[in-house]
Amino acid sequence: MEKPTPRINSAMLPNYINHSVRLVGKIVQHNTFGTKFVEIIGQVQPDRSLQEFSSCNMGDNFDMPTYNKLVELSHRYKELFE
């Protein structure tokens, strides 16, 4: 079975160079997504950018602090999130 794509935050980017990840972020400029928050599924590049494979609009009212806690917990208790 294929492993799920891990959800990460920006602080975790250096640990996932050349790996596929999911990252939710707020668009601050050049917004072509039509929403403030977006989840990007992509590969982390050596410069810590993402090569996008796909994206999903997350709306204009997304609770980033709560989501960040979820990301942290998913890495601390991996067996619960597999």
Q: How many angstroms separate the CA atoms of 25 and 36, rounded?
A: 8
pLDDT tens digit sequence for 23-59: 999 988 877 888 899 999 999 999 999 999 999 999 9
CA 19, chain centre distance (Å): 12
Domain count, the chain: 1
Banded model confidence at residue 1, pLDDT cuts 50, 70, 90? very low
Q: What is the CATH number of the domain that holds 15?
A: 2.40.50.140
Mean pLDDT, the chain, whole residue set: 91
**pTM to 2 decimals?**
0.85
**Is residue 60 assigned to a domain?**
yes
**Is residue 69 assigned to a domain?**
no
Domain that holds residue 41: 7-64
**Is residue 51 assigned to a domain?**
yes
**Is residue 28 assigned to a domain?**
yes
